[in-house]
Structure 1
Amino acid sequence: MPLDIDIVKARANNEYRFSKVRGEAMLSLRTIGGTIPAHLLDVARDVAMKYGNGVIRLTTRQKLAMPGIRYEDMDKVNKMIAPFIKEMTIDICGIDQDPEEGYKTIGGRNIVTCQGNRICQKGNVDTTGMARRLEKLIYPSEYHLKTTIAGCPQDCAKANLADIGIFGIAEMIYDRDRCIGCGKCAELCDHHAAQCLHMDQGKVRKEKTKCIGCGECALVCPTLAWRRNPKKFYMVKLGGRTSKVTPRIGKIFLNWVTEDVIAAVIQNIWKFSAEVLDGSPKYLHMGHLIDMAGYKKFKEWALKDVELNPEAKVADRIYWLENEYVANMHVKSPNAGGH
């Protein structure tokens, strides 16, 4: 018997994605920064075993996905995952909604993060905590933008490929009296950082404008002459995306900004998206929207009523270099003769 399936509604509610098997979909459960209480795994397991095909897939956006959900079982599954939504979305992130209604919208994808400084010694910021605080600003939203937080410029989370890529950076404090001139920090910086440290008369000299705030120097200093400023700073890149023909690496929009600045800018970005798309959400990335409006107009929208911290820097312009593919390019056969 044919099924009357509303695919758009199913995708918007609970992020159901229909598969190659007629009438079957994959359900994705949002995790915030890839971290969830362990006991909630029982919910995903029970859904997969009872209504799915017994498999749980970890998606590239750190979601828990259960394939094999039948369309006619979706209402039952929504009730079954209510405890997951209540704890992750309502209790942890402070979002007001009915947990038994499923997710409100597919827009504003869940925030992806690396492990951050809760676990990783290279992490400059608590990515998990930040993701949970920002989640209420990106969900629910009907506009399609992806946010990723990397704990340091190493970018294990691939924030360079996100619409909004956030990087934790550290202002480094140097105690000259503690420095013994071993040169370990300069050697490391030269090898795989910004090449901003140099030895000068037995001490370290720093080219401040070249420093990217990675914090690597603090990891190798044997005397703690280098340490991170406790104040947390961030770099924000915009417009990163994957694509069939025009992939982009995000470009720096803000540098040395605080979390308060980022939160205000994100809220303005949703307003900018609505303005550019005339209130009709479409599957478009941040770079597309900036291309449509122009960087100058975008910057006006993004920074409207935003109080920048004293250390903040804003890009004067953004320029993306696209990967270019030439259509109908003639390729000479390896067997063809030549002159």
Structure 2
Amino acid sequence: MNYDIDIKKVRVNCFRQSKVPGEFMLQMRIPGGTINAKYLSDIEYIAVTWGNGTFHMGVRQTFNIPGIKYENIDAVNEYIKDYIKEVEIDECNCDMTINYKGYPTIGARNIMACIGNTHCIKANVNTKELSTKVENLIFPSHYHIKVSVSGCPNDCGKAHFQDFGIIGQARMEYHKERCIGCGACVRACEHHATRVLSLNENGLVDKDPCCCVGCGECVLACPASEWTRLPEKFYRIVIGGRTGKQNPRMGKTFVNFATENTVLGILANWQKFSAWALDYKPEYLHGGHLIDRAGYNKFKEIILDGVELNKEALVAENIYWSETEYRSNINVKPIGMHKSISTTRPIRNSENY
């Protein structure tokens, strides 16, 4: 059968065009990368009934079901109503209406996350819980943004290659009365982290507060519990990362040691910033490009508007992007507004940073 197919319209409902004419792949969102195993039977049913019998674990932690014929898209959308309701509304509390038309937008992409501290001994935070709260702020929206949450500075969730990356951090407390001077924490910091610990002449540990990334390796290594994590959770916010053919780049630190309330306050301003940068006309243009278009200072002004920063938070005064350019420079204007490396100078100092 021949159809006059509006590819952009179908894409809005999370169906991706195949190289086979008239075939599409459904991308089912999994906020935070963790989902109840009961939904696997739904994936199987869709794949066998309307797809080609396979599914792909998408690199953004989605269920990708290929081989769906255009004429079957309405039936698939009808079938996934309950899944969307339970995952997006009941679980993430997103403000949206469920109908037979399937997903309302592909704009705010599926939030990625590592497994976090529900399992991983390295992780400082519960990545699924934070992903659910962020999902409520950004989905649904026709303004595009890619977000990932990593439980610790190992960054298994690839936060550095997102428009907006969030990395779990901890603030550590040193109990010198427990210290046995073994140096395990110093060696762990030297081998796995930023080498800010050293043993002094008294057999106790000194810490250079300049470059601690809040990973918690010292806590894991210590046999005497001389290091403990403070109860409050902190996060590093990284912005402007991206892959791509022309100008891939790694994101730079925007805010260090932000609390959850600070993170959520900033994300709540994302759509406002996107609307301003695009003159209130949504385009398929992701966040890093919008920051380039607006410039870092304007981005910072809008994204921090009304946000009450916690006292520990450090905000970069400026960011200078370092991009890899895979293209000829002949008669081509650079799309990035900032080059070179980012500054580490914060807006204000913070104790024990």
- TM-score, normalised to structure 1, is 0.94
Q: What is the SS of the residue equivalent to 2:19?
A: coil
Question: Which deviations, in whole Å up to 9, do the C-alpha atoms of 1:37-69 show, x marking residues without a partner?
Answer: 110111111000000000011000000011011
For residues 85-104 of structure 1, the aligned pairs below 5 Å read: 85-95=84-94, 96-98=96-98, 100-104=100-104
CA distance 1:328–1:293, change in 2 (3 Å)? closer
Question: Which deviations, in whole Å up to 9, do the C-alpha atoms of 1:150-178 show, x marking residues without a partner?
Answer: 00010011110000000000000111101
For residues 231-242 of structure 1, the aligned pairs below 5 Å read: 231-242=232-243
For residues 70-81 of structure 1, the aligned pairs below 5 Å read: 70-81=69-80
For residues 1-339 of structure 1, the aligned pairs below 5 Å read: 1-13=1-13, 15-95=14-94, 96-98=96-98, 100-200=100-200, 201-325=202-326, 327=328
Deviation of 1:328 (Å):
8.6
Question: Which deviations, in whole Å up to 9, do the C-alpha atoms of 1:249-274 show, x marking residues without a partner?
Answer: 10011111111111111121211111
Q: What is the SS of the residue equivalent to 2:31?
A: coil
Deviation of 1:125 (Å):
0.2
Q: What is the SS of the residue equivalent to 2:190?
A: helix
Deviation of 1:326 (Å):
6.2
Structure 1 unaligned blocks of 5 or more: 330-339
CA distance 1:41–1:2, change in 2 (3 Å)? same
Deviation of 1:103 (Å):
1.0
The count of corresponding residues between Structure 1 and Structure 2 is 328
Cα distance in 2 for partners of 1:261, 1:131 equals 14
User: What percent identity do the matched residue pairs reach?
Assistant: 50
Residue identity matched to 1:41:
L
Question: Which deviations, in whole Å up to 9, do the C-alpha atoms of 1:75-100 show, x marking residues without a partner?
Answer: 11111112211211111111242154
Cα distance in 1 for partners of 2:54, 2:127 equals 29
Equivalent pair of 1:52/1:68 in contact (CA under 8 Å): yes
Cα distance in 1 for partners of 2:319, 2:121 equals 32
Equivalent pair of 1:239/1:285 in contact (CA under 8 Å): no
Equivalent pair of 1:109/1:138 in contact (CA under 8 Å): no
Aligned-pair RMSD on alpha carbons? 1.4
Cα distance in 1 for partners of 2:193, 2:218 equals 9
Cα distance in 1 for partners of 2:64, 2:157 equals 19
Cα distance in 2 for partners of 1:199, 1:148 equals 36
Deviation of 1:133 (Å):
1.4
Residue identity matched to 2:184:
K
Equivalent pair of 2:246/2:327 in contact (CA under 8 Å): no
Residue identity matched to 2:149:
I
Deviation of 1:144 (Å):
1.4
Q: What is the SS of the residue equivalent to 2:205?
A: strand
- TM-score, normalised to structure 2, is 0.90
Q: What is the SS of the residue equivalent to 1:210?
A: coil
Deviation of 1:137 (Å):
1.0
Question: Which deviations, in whole Å up to 9, do the C-alpha atoms of 1:308-334 show, x marking residues without a partner?
Answer: 1111111000010111346399xxxxx
Cα distance in 2 for partners of 1:323, 1:221 equals 40
Cα distance in 2 for partners of 1:26, 1:210 equals 45
Equivalent pair of 2:245/2:326 in contact (CA under 8 Å): no
- The residue that corresponds to 2:339 in the other structure is none
Cα distance in 1 for partners of 2:4, 2:327 equals 43
Structure 2 unaligned blocks of 5 or more: 331-353
Residue identity matched to 1:285:
H
Please list every run of at least 4 consecutive aligned residues from structure 1 whose deviation after the TM superposition is greater than 3 angstroms. Answer: none
CA distance 1:133–1:326, change in 2 (3 Å)? closer
Question: Which deviations, in whole Å up to 9, do the C-alpha atoms of 1:184-206 show, x marking residues without a partner?
Answer: 00011011201000001201100
Deviation of 1:32 (Å):
1.2
Question: Which deviations, in whole Å up to 9, do the C-alpha atoms of 1:130-153 show, x marking residues without a partner?
Answer: 111111111101111100000001
Cα distance in 1 for partners of 2:270, 2:78 equals 33
